Structure formats: C-alpha cells, structure tokens
Structure 1
Amino acid sequence: MDKGKASKELETSLQNLDLNPQSNVKNKISIATNHHQFQGLLPKKMKPPSLVSLCIGVIGKHLEDIITDLPEIAIGLPAEIKTAVAAIARRRKLLNDDVLIALADTSWEYLDVSGSDVSDVGLIKAAEVCRSIKALDISRCTKITATGISELVKHCRLLETLRCGGCLRSDHTARRCLSIFKPRLDYVEEDSWEELDTKEISSGAQSLRWLVWPNIDNNSLDEISTECPRIIVNLKSSPFGFMGTQVPWEALQNTVLDDVAVKDIDPKTWRGRGFAVKPASPSPSTSPELSVAEKFRLAFEERDNRLAPKRAKNARQHQRRAVRELMLMSTRAKAMVLASQASKSLHSRSS
C-alpha cells in the first residue's frame, strides 16, 4: 500500500471519529424514538401539576373540615376554582344544598349535581344565581322533585341539555316532569290584557334541545317525540353531528359534565385515606322500589304544588269580580269608592 492511499484512509477515519459519545447516544435514541415502529413504546413525559391544581387538591382533601366556613371562603374564589371544588365535593359525596349554595357562581354555564344530596332547596337557590346554565345533570338525585325542576326552568331560560333519571326515584320524577320539559303556551283566563301576567303566557323549558335519560320508558319517549320533536333523547355520538346541527359534548351519553373541571387535578391529592369513588351509574335493580303509598304521596304533593299558583290566581280573579259586582249592585258602595278616589285626587293636588 503506498503512502498516499494510507494517509487518505487515515484522514477519512479521523473525520468519522466522534469524540463526544454522549451526543452520539442521544442522536441514536432520537432516531429510534422518531421511527414509527417505536412510537408509543416509550412513556411520554408528564407535565408537572400547577400550583393552583395542587392547592385545589388540598382544599378538596380537607373539604369536610371547612364546609361550615365555606360561604366565607368561597367569596374570594374565582368561578373556575368554585367549579373544581364542587366537582370534588360531588365525588367525595359531600355535595349538598349548603355546599352548592355557597359555591354557586353567576358565570357557570354547566352544573353537575348527579348522585348528590342536593334537594329542591339547593337547586332552586342555585338556579336563581346561575341563570346562564346551559347544561345540567340531576341524574340519581333522589331529593329533587318536579317542584325543583319547575322552578329551574323558570330561572334558567338558556338550558339546552338536561341529564336525568338513573334510578327508580329519579326516573319517577322525570316522568312527572314531561309537561315541564315541553315548552307550551298557557291558556289563561283574564278579563283584560292589562290584568294578564306576562310570565303566565308561556312556560316549560323554552331552550331545551337535548335530553339524556338512559332508562326512559317507551310511553315517555313516544310522548316527547310526538309532542315536542325538537327535543332529542339519548343521542348516540356521531362525528357528523345530528341533522346538520353540531352536537354539544354535554349531550353525549357517556359524558361526565364536571370532568373538565378536575382534569388537571391529581385524584391522589384530594382523596382521603381509605376513600373509594363509588360507581357513577349504579344498576337500577339495586335501588329500592317505591311503595304504593309513597308514589301516591309524591303524586299528591307535586299536583298540589303545581296547582297552587292557579288557585292563587283564581282567588284574585274572584276578589276583583266581587268588588265589581258590589259596585254595580250597591249604590252606596259605588259612592264610597268614588269619594275615596276624589279624596286621593284632592290630596295629590294640594301636595
């Protein structure tokens, strides 16, 4: 081998020599991980939790110790933190009327109280505050009746998605609320348009479009489909939407409304020792069947509450008609009324 050829090979070898083996290893690892055969085999680098998420987790872990002071604490909390605390309280089976009322915020657009101890009192108070609610989950809430739902739709005019049912008592309440779910014009009897109360012209859920009711019976489904086809019941997920309409994520059956509030919070930070999350949807067979007496009691109570405003309105009508008849039949009474009006007119002019 001549000297020229040997020197050329030596120069080539020196050029290929890498004096930084660490970078060589990194390059090989980078090439390997970028190859399609290795994608998904190596664990992805997890993003560390934020300080806010850690603090919310600590609040959630000791939530039972601060419930009595929660109204004062929640005053200075932003709306998104209130939502996260409410979601943790629901998961820890601590969400009740007091907690919901303390955390309710005017900017909330969705509310999940499913499987909680919230009753009509807490739901009505929250509806009076959270008038911008567009999606609500009251499934498996055994203390919420048709009275609470009736007041809810009066205050939350933007409600588009409602999730209900899930157990025997909640299914019974949902069946009693069919007339509330369907928007309608009320038939009112007044003597003149001046006496007509504007809030009595229409009632029902005016904006309701999506109803998630897993155990809906055939009769209820037929009634909604026939009388109010605008309300879609138990829509299955589809990438193409529904009849050209974009389906909101709140209307999908397997969606948990408040998951988005705690997605960045590690459950280990708020779970207490020995705490286990109960299943979200217990089997209907495990719920006790309502007795006949209880069904009659609930039906009578809901009917009485539903007819109470009409009874009050009829009483006012009878009172006004009695005054008119008295004025027409009795000249003395008519004179007294006219004298009273004249006296008021003179007093107003003199003042």
Structure 2
Amino acid sequence: MQKTIVAIARRRKLLDDGILNALLDDSWDTLDISGSDITDLGLTKAAQTCPNLLAVDVRKCKKITIVGVSALISQCHSLEILRCGGCPSSESTARRCLSILVPKLNAVEEESWENLENTDLVDGAQSLRWLVWPNIDPESKARLAVECPRIAVNPQPSPLSLRGVEVPLAACPDSILDESYVAGIDPETWATTVSDADRAGINTLPSASEQGQDLPQLSMAEKFRLAFVERDLRLAPKRAKNMRQRQRRAEKEWVTSSADAKSVVLAAKFRKSL
C-alpha cells in the first residue's frame, strides 16, 4: 500500500520529504524518487530507515546533491543499482559523486595483519554493480572503467549475460522501478499536470463564481482513496469470475476424489434413467 501511494504521488509530481518519510518501511529494497522534490534530508532519512535498499532511482531530482548520495552509499551497504542524471543539476551531481562511487583504501593503523580481521580496508560503494546514467560523459565513463571496472554502466539486456551475470530488470535504462506498484490502476486517476503556479499555491482553475457552483477541494488522502475504490470496482468482476472458477474446480475435485460424491452422482444418473 505505501509503495503504491509513493508511486502515485511521484507520478502526480507531489512526492516530497514529508510524504516519503511518512510512508517509509524498513522492508523496502527498491526506491524510485525520480523527478520528485525529495531533498538530501529526505534521501538520508530513507537510507537510514531502509538500509537494505538494492536499487535506487534519483534521476531528475534537482534537490539532491552529493550529500544525499553519500548518505545513501554509507547507509545502504547492499546497494547494487543506482540510477542518476536526467537533468542538468542531476548530471552535475552524478559527476561529483564519482569520487564516492570508486573504492579507495582506508588508513590502516594496526601493527599486524592479524589485527585487520574486522577492519574495512576499502571505502566507497562496495556493492554497486550497475550504474544507469544515460547521458554519462566520456571522461566519467572512462574513469569508472579504469578505477572501478566492476560497475557496469548503462547495461543493455541481451540473450547473452554480461560478464557471466544476468542484467537485472531494474538496471535496464528503459525500466521503471515502481511500475509494478501501480499495475492494474487506471493512469487517469493520477494523470495531471502540476504547473509552477500550482506549486506556488496559485489556483489556476476557474473560480466558483465563474462556473456558477462551488468546487469542493479533495484532500490528498481522499484522492488516493478514490483511486483505490475505482480500482476495486474495476477488478470486482474479475475477482468474482476467479472465485466461481475456484469453486467449480473444488467441486470437481470433490466429486472425483470422494466415494460419497461418486455414489450421489451414480444414484442421480440411475434415477434419471428410470
């Protein structure tokens, strides 16, 4: 439920730190905040709440800088897929983040190798394997290839696996991380354009006096509730059909497996023949 609300809020250009922080769950392993108003504070909170994140999309997030990405890398040690870039500010952030993506040796103060058993020798995005950055510049791509060749940049799905490892769907540039959360929901329930005037609090809709009637303002929670009600009504016939099929299947299995049921069927046939 929370993931679906976040996905719809992102599509309606309403996702910000407040909405995200209110819905975060520590069981999440993917996070798509692309094109949203999430800031470094919101991304840091998400990384702290969801330390098991495997794939994160921060493309076109104008308010996220190297500070937020650094918090993500430091908190989510299992992060394998990072999606970035997409707009001038995000492209600049991605270039700055190269320094925290490539591994680097930490300072070692122990006097013997035996004391290094529980010491991290390498810092950086140790688990990162896939970087989706469609407009990566040649210099950044060359640097990653030299300093961190284990990170595959913009992998393309193909019949042959990449380096012996199958490319995950979340690492494909054309995929959308949160697409599965809104599957089956009519896009018209969130298809709306939010202009800068709307974000500034200016009502661009015709006034009540111009339309001759009052325009009730629905809360965001009510809009989400109506979207789910519409979805349930649309899927109700399909659920009823599936229920009838399961019931007929159960009756058929009962008839074929139960001796009592077989005797009832044979008695009915015999009665009909008489």
Tell me the TM-score normalised to structure 2 length.
0.65
> 1:103 is aligned with what amino acid?
L
Larger gyration radius, structure 1 or structure 2: 1
Aligned to 1:265: 185
Contact 2:48 2:75 in 1 (8 A): yes
* CA RMSD between the two structures: 2.3
CA drift of 1:167 comes to: 1.0
Between 184-193 and 162-171, report the one with greater CA deviation. 184-193
Identity of counterpart residues, as a percentage? 53
Structure 1 position 243 matched with structure 2 position 163: yes
Unaligned runs of 5+ in 2: 196-274
Match of 2:140 among 220, 238, 245: 220
> 2:131 is aligned with what amino acid?
L
Aligned to 1:254: 174
Give SS of 2:178's match.
Answer: helix
Give SS of 2:165's match.
Answer: coil
Structure 1 position 136 matched with structure 2 position 56: yes
> 2:151 is aligned with what amino acid?
I
Unaligned runs of 5+ in 1: 1-80, 279-351
Give SS of 1:175's match.
Answer: helix
Structure 1 position 127 matched with structure 2 position 47: yes
Give SS of 2:73's match.
Answer: helix
Give 1 or 2: higher helix fraction.
Answer: 1
Q: 1:123/1:184 Cα in 2 relative to 1: closer, same or farther (>3 Å)?
A: same
Instruction: Please list, as runs of the form range in 1=range in 2, the aligned pairs for 1:50-199 lying within 5 A after superposition.
Output: 81-188=1-108
CA drift of 1:192 comes to: 10
CA drift of 1:199 comes to: 7.7
Aligned to 2:243: none
Give SS of 1:127's match.
Answer: helix
CA drift of 1:144 comes to: 0.7
Q: 1:97/1:188 Cα in 2 relative to 1: closer, same or farther (>3 Å)?
A: farther
Aligned length: 193
Contact 2:11 2:190 in 1 (8 A): no
The ranges of structure 1 where at least 4 consecutive aligned residues each deviate by more than 6 angstroms after the TM superposition are 190-193
Tell me the TM-score normalised to structure 1 length.
0.52
Give SS of 1:122's match.
Answer: helix
CA drift of 1:200 comes to: 6.8
Contact 2:25 2:49 in 1 (8 A): yes
- Distance between the aligned counterparts of 2:166 and 2:150, measured in 1? 14
> 1:226 is aligned with what amino acid?
V
Aligned to 2:151: 231
